[in-house]
């Protein structure tokens, strides 16, 4: 069918494709939920482990729908995650055998994780530097900054006090990867500059 006059064909195609993918995605989520409920009840004669997909699948649907529709993209997906992650973790605590981890671990992890995800997106979206340097910054922020903070709250919640060596072992691989990515970025930059210089001289 031809698009209406004044409506770009590409935009119409993207909208129709997004609607189709949204319907398929929604049906797949519903099928996953009902399948888990049926299997769980058929085996255990009660609803136990199916509560986890019953809670997690709608959360995933709410977060991924803007990305699936393709009209709104990653920013709306991140906004959806930021809005619903706290209620999701709060409800998840209610169906897990461990109590009070939402305040002790969930909230600190969300407070640290959400800004890290946004920073990573903005870094790759707007910062005009080499992909190697972007990856290095991401690994450093995630493995050297965010991860130790979250691990600290996990250790406080579990009443564990890891040694300095254990903390160093957890961070050291990320430091090594960060340095290697920076080296690769610098090396790639020099190669590109040399190629550009040779092309200029050849002209």
Of 173, 92, 169, 179, the C-alpha closest to 135 is 179
At residue 2 the predicted structure's pLDDT band, cuts being 50, 70 and 90, is: very low
pLDDT, mean of residues 158-177: 89
pTM reported for the whole predicted model: 0.77
Contact 130, 171 (CB under 8 A): no
H helices then E strands: how many in the chain?
Answer: 8, 0
Contacts of 97 (CB under 8 A, 6+ apart): none
73 pLDDT above the threshold of 60: yes
Does residue 1 register a pLDDT over 70? no
pLDDT at residue 14, as a whole number: 52
Quick check: 129 and 157 in contact, CB under 8 A? no
Closest CA to 121 of 107, 142, 105: 142
What's the pLDDT score for residue 151? 92
What are the respective helix, strand and coil percentages of the chain, to the nearest 5?
A: 85, 0, 15
pLDDT-derived band at 111, boundaries 50, 70, 90: very high
Look up residue 199 and give its two tokens.
């092309």
Residue from 93, 97, 135, 124 nearest 110 by CA:
93
Q: Is the pLDDT of residue 146 over 80?
A: yes
Is 90 exceeded by the pLDDT of residue 3? no
3-state secondary structure of 119: helix
Asked whether the predicted pLDDT for residue 93 surpasses 70, the reply is yes
């Amino acid at each position: 069918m031809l698009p209406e006059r004044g409506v770009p064909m590409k935009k119409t195609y993207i909208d129709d494709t997004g609607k189709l993918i949204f319907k398929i995605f929604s049906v797949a989520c519903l099928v996953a939920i009902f399948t888990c409920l049926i299997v769980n009840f058929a085996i255990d004669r009660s609803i136990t482990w199916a509560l986890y997909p019953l809670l997690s699948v709608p959360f995933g649907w709410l977060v991924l729908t803007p990305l699936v529709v393709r009209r709104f993209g990653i920013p709306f997906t991140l906004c959806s995650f930021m809005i619903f992650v706290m209620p999701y973790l709060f409800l998840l605590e209610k169906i897990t055998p461990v109590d009070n981890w939402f305040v002790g671990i969930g909230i600190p992890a969300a407070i640290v994780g959400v800004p890290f995800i946004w920073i990573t997106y903005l870094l790759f979206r707007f910062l005009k530097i080499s992909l190697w340097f972007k990856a290095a910054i991401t690994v450093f922020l995630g493995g050297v900054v965010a991860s130790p903070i979250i691990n600290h709250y996990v250790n406080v919640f579990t009443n564990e006090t890891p040694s300095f060596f254990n903390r160093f072992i957890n961070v050291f691989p990320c430091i090594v990867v960060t340095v290697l990515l920076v080296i690769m970025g610098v090396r790639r930059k020099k190669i590109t500059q040399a190629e550009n210089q040779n092309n200029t001289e050849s002209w």
